[in-house]
Chain A
Amino acid sequence: MLHEKLYDYLLHLGDNSMILGQRLGELCGHGPELETDIALTNISLDLFGQVRNYFQAAAQIKGGDATEDSVAMLRYEHEYKNTYLVEQPNEDFAHVIVRQFFFDVYHQLILNELMNSKNETLVAIAKKSIKEVDYHVDFSSTWVKRLGDGTEESHEKAQTAVNTLWRYSMELFKATETESWAAESRVGPDLDQLKSVYLERVSSILKEATLSLPEETVFQYGAKTGRHSENMGYILAEFQYMQRAYPNMKW
């Protein structure tokens, strides 16, 4: 059914931004410098703004008493479509930046495609979001370079982050059934087609940053179909707490 598939696709788009936004929100007040704190929170704000757009549209499709909040907060673990990458913890600043960078390059690519979607709502959301995400890419790429080509210590930490997180990158491009439907119906991008550009852009920045991709990587897949990492349970426990403890109330 068109509507079910579109609803599911909106969850795909929203969940990545949402979980990543949630991770960034955890950093508030703990940044390495006040200015950086503001920058990271700004990104979190942008992402949640996008989430609200996706989920308001999703709630409309679902109908009944569905709201952006019920869509966001009342699903069970296996019903979330985000990737492993965005669930990863805020291990240290290098992890935060590399995670952001790996996601931002992908995010920019799909938003550019979504601006040509057959679905008007997605076009509108993409047009608004791309300006923000262009900035996110700038921000995270520059920081990857600062850390990679900064001091001995920052280089090591950045390389460790790359080595740890790279295994979650390819999941971004492995289409689920819904994402395949989206590509076929010209509602969303053909993820496979975007892979080589992604690799080019990521490699180019890493090279400038004097960082390298790990030689042999066993890529991880499965989060998008509901098989999340152990991180997800804790993220949701915090995220959903108020809605679960105080059900059916207005805030």
Chain B
Amino acid sequence: MENKTLSLEEQFQNRIDSGENIEAKDWMPEKYRKTHIRQISQHAHSEVVGMLPEGNWISRAPSLRRKVALLAKVQDEAGHGLYLYSAAETLGISREELNEQLNSGRAKYSSIFNYPTISWADMGAVGWLVDGAAIINQVMLTKTSYGPYARAMVRICKEESFHQRQGYEIMLSLCNGTEAQKAMAQDALNRWWWPSMMMFGPRDEDSPNTEQSMKWKIKKKTNDELRQQFVDQTVPQAEILGLTIPDKDLKWNEERGHYDFGTIDWDEFWDVVKGNGLMNEKRLKDRNEAWDEGKWVRDAASAYADKQAEKRAKKTA
């Protein structure tokens, strides 16, 4: 029979090509497993670290309604982190290891969260631009080959659209408000535009993993294609707000049917990726503290659970 002459890897790829999901206990190449652990955990770490720049403004939200919405958003992010950690764990890595990787600085997370949130308008910019960029990636991933990851992404996408709308609505309120509010919004856009563009990663020519990622349906489009999609969809949104995108080279190109845009500062990109952004240290410090200071709590809960179990065992004995 023909199937017997195909290698395990080829059969595996055939399954993916035919649209089948790979599940936790299925045979998979070790590279697939490792790549997915890295990809999914990076995604999870991003959600968790992402709670910090926004959590920063919960206590200072300008109205009760905004405070409640922000609390809900940050909570969603924690939930997303959880769904993703769960998906990563199905591949044979423990939560403890995952935390260790993040806290030690070995694991990467989305660099965007190493930028500071210094005004209320940042809550608008982050929701609009950062979540906007994230959604572009995430919709692709709902069809990714690894089942638990795809399912987590479906759940996440449902909740994510509320995040972007909320961010944009904050910008809208500011831009329809006083001069001071509008200036706050423009300042936030000025600071968050380029980092958001950097969220799509290095240029295609500097991205060696793209081909493999596409085979495994982690990616459907290349970094540059996604970045272009982001620009094309966001420029009109900025126009509605009456704000100016801080890119003097931004221009509609009739021939291409897309916006032309300027060059990213790749030095800054690599600096932040390597851990030298303004907030890198603080983000890690906060996560480490939460984890370390939480140890006695986690131990107490385990000890209590054991004791309760003992008591129950004695009763039924």
Q: Do A and B touch, yes or no (CB under 8 Å, in the complex)?
A: yes
Contact B51 A238 (CB under 8 A): no
Whether B233 sits at the interface, judged by CB under 8 Å, is no
Q: Which of A141-166 contact B (CB under 8 A)?
A: 145-147, 149-151, 153-154, 157
Contact B68 A151 (CB under 8 A): no
Contact for B296 among A22, A68, A151, A246, CB less than 8 A: A151
Q: Give the Cβ gap from A112 to chain B, nearest Cβ, in Å.
A: 25
Q: Which of A218-245 contact B (CB under 8 A)?
A: 238-239, 241-243
Q: List the one stretch of A23-31, A178-186, A195-203 in contact with chain B.
A: A23-31
Contact B290 A32 (CB under 8 A): yes
How long is the Cα–Cα vector from A241 to B295 in the complex, in angstroms? 34
Whether B63 sits at the interface, judged by CB under 8 Å, is yes
Whether B62 sits at the interface, judged by CB under 8 Å, is yes
Kindly list chain B residues whose C-beta atoms are within 8 Å of the C-beta of A41: 71, 74-75, 78
Kindly list chain B residues whose C-beta atoms are within 8 Å of the C-beta of A93: 293-294, 297
Q: List the one stretch of B13-21, B79-87, B269-277 in contact with chain A.
A: B79-87
Kindly list chain B residues whose C-beta atoms are within 8 Å of the C-beta of A153: 296, 299-300
Contact B297 A33 (CB under 8 A): yes
Contact A26 B59 (CB under 8 A): yes
Kindly list chain A residues whose C-beta atoms are within 8 Å of the C-beta of B286: 29-30
Kindly list chain A residues whose C-beta atoms are within 8 Å of the C-beta of B307: 149
Q: List the one stretch of A4-12, A46-54, A125-133 in contact with chain B.
A: A46-54
How long is the Cα–Cα vector from A202 to B181 in the complex, in angstroms? 48
Whether B258 sits at the interface, judged by CB under 8 Å, is no
Kindly list chain B residues whose C-beta atoms are within 8 Å of the C-beta of A246: 62, 178, 180-181
Kindly list chain B residues whose C-beta atoms are within 8 Å of the C-beta of A242: 60-62, 120
Q: Give the Cβ gap from A42 to chain B, nearest Cβ, in Å.
A: 7
How long is the Cα–Cα vector from A22 to B62 in the complex, in angstroms? 13
Q: Give the Cβ gap from A109 to chain B, nearest Cβ, in Å.
A: 25
Kindly list chain B residues whose C-beta atoms are within 8 Å of the C-beta of A149: 304, 307
Kindly list chain A residues whose C-beta atoms are within 8 Å of the C-beta of B291: 32
Contact for B81 among A25, A34, A239, CB less than 8 A: A34
Q: Give the Cβ gap from A229 to chain B, nearest Cβ, in Å.
A: 18
How long is the Cα–Cα vector from A251 to B69 in the complex, in angstroms? 12
Contact B62 A243 (CB under 8 A): yes
Of all chain A residues, which has the CB nearest B51? A29
Contact B293 A92 (CB under 8 A): yes
Whether B48 sits at the interface, judged by CB under 8 Å, is yes
Whether B66 sits at the interface, judged by CB under 8 Å, is yes
Contact B71 A28 (CB under 8 A): yes
Of all chain A residues, which has the CB nearest B300? A150
Q: Which of B258-317 contact A (CB under 8 A)?
A: 286, 289-291, 293-304, 307
List the interface of chain B (C-beta within 8 A of A): 48, 51-52, 55, 58-68, 71-72, 74-75, 78-79, 81-82, 85, 120, 170, 173, 176-178, 180-181, 286, 289-291, 293-304, 307
User: Can you give 13 A-B contacts (C-beta < 8 A)?
Assistant: A25-B67, A28-B58, A29-B290, A41-B74, A42-B75, A44-B71, A93-B293, A146-B304, A151-B303, A238-B59, A241-B60, A251-B66, A251-B173
List the interface of chain A (C-beta within 8 A of B): 22, 25-26, 28-38, 41-42, 44-45, 48-49, 51-52, 55, 68-69, 72-73, 92-93, 145-147, 149-151, 153-154, 157, 238-239, 241-243, 246, 249-251
